[in-house]
Amino acid sequence: MPDHTRRYGLLLPHFGEHASRKNLLAMSRKAEEYGFDSLWVRDHLVFHPHGMEGQDRTHIEPMEVLGMVAGVTEKVQLGTGSLIPYRNPIHAALCLSSLERLAGPGRVIAGFGIGTFDHEFVASGLGGIDRKELVEEQVAVMRKLWTGEEVSFEGKFYNFTDVDIHPSPVSERSIPIWYCGNSPASARRAVEYCDGWMPGRITIKTFAKRVERLHRLAMQHGKPVPTASAIPITSPGRTREEAISKVNWSEMMEQAIRAKWELPDSGKWEAPEDLEGALIAGPPETIIQEVRKYHAVGGTHLVFDLRFRFDEWEECVGILGEEVLPELRRGDAAGEAKFEAPAEWSQPLPAKA
């Protein structure tokens, strides 16, 4: 079932030049010490970094990372944001249920998405496949296997008879599945067959539109509203100017032009302020204010993406853990930025929306 508790996580440095056992273990332990709720990994098979990822092609396999992290933590949730459908779903189901067995009940969140880069699917023999249909079928396979029963399946991509996996999860729904993607269609898929929605980088203006869509579609289909999450690029600093100077925001502008985001009020992408929500940069009080904007429009699980600051992760996690997280917790307990869905969100979407 969807979880609407406010939670805060970190993206782990398992890709690029700072990906190392030392950094991963130290950051994971420090995150749990500070009381972060979750730690997250990304997924690539043939990693070709883009402008926000440096030049180093290191990308440590995500399930391997989470297995290692499970061994040095006790409570923090372990999330994939997202797994791309290169894996056979029987294998993926076993990997995730094994992770839950090692980490403990309630600690695994399985995010899935269609991926971005064609070359990775070509390399894995899946070139030209309909990835949207592939993800949906993979989720269906995993849901069945996680019942712990012997399963036969006949689909467009997968056909098998009398398969069961062990260990199976603690319960059929103990591993929530989130759909990862920015588009309006991704919100629809999250409602139709997932427990949560994670768009990654997205502006507040676009996020609010998508959350409205989640609510309307959930009402329309008689389903619970999925968890609404996001992974904003985050850069803490003592001043906003210092924090922004350490981010390649011009590259983020290029992404914004290509993305299906709502335009800023100015009508064009020009300044860091136009990236509101996709970029959270500044001193602790600014970061808190920006997170509250997500809460005010229905976001609950925020994951801080420090990729531009992985070389300074200790300082950044320290600021977040010591000065941001306690204030967010205090405000959450006091009911700050309480979200109530507008009455019109209970109405169905127009037929072509």
- Closest listed residue to residue 18, CA positions, set 241, 325, 317, 319: 317
Q: What is the pLDDT of residue 299?
A: 98
Bridge partners of 109?
79
Region for residue 337 given its phi and psi (left: phi exceeds 0; alpha: psi -120 to 50; beta: otherwise): left
Q: What is the pLDDT of residue 116?
A: 85
- Closest listed residue to residue 250, CA positions, set 306, 204, 308: 308
Residue type, 100: E
CA distances 224 to 108, 214, 221, 325, 344, Å, are 20, 9, 9, 28, 17
What residue spans define the domains of the chain?
Answer: 7-334
Who's near 280: CB < 8 A, 6+ residues apart?
232, 233, 234, 235, 286, 287, 290, 291, 304
pLDDT in tens, 293-344: 999 999 999 999 999 999 999 999 999 999 999 999 999 999 999 899 999 9
The span from the CA of 137 to the CA of 140, in Å, is 5
CATH superfamily of 7-334: Luciferase-like domain (3.20.20.30)
Residue type, 35: G
pLDDT in tens, 181-206: 999 999 999 999 999 999 989 999 99
How does residue 353 score in pLDDT terms, banded at 50, 70 and 90?
low
Residue 351 has pLDDT above 80, yes or no: no
- Mean pLDDT of all residues in the chain? 95
pLDDT in tens, 218-269: 999 999 999 999 999 999 999 999 999 999 988 899 889 888 899 998 899 9
pLDDT in tens, 105-142: 999 999 999 998 899 999 999 999 999 999 999 999 99
The span from the CA of 113 to the CA of 186, in Å, is 9
Q: What is the pLDDT of residue 352?
A: 65
Average pLDDT over every residue of 55-74: 97
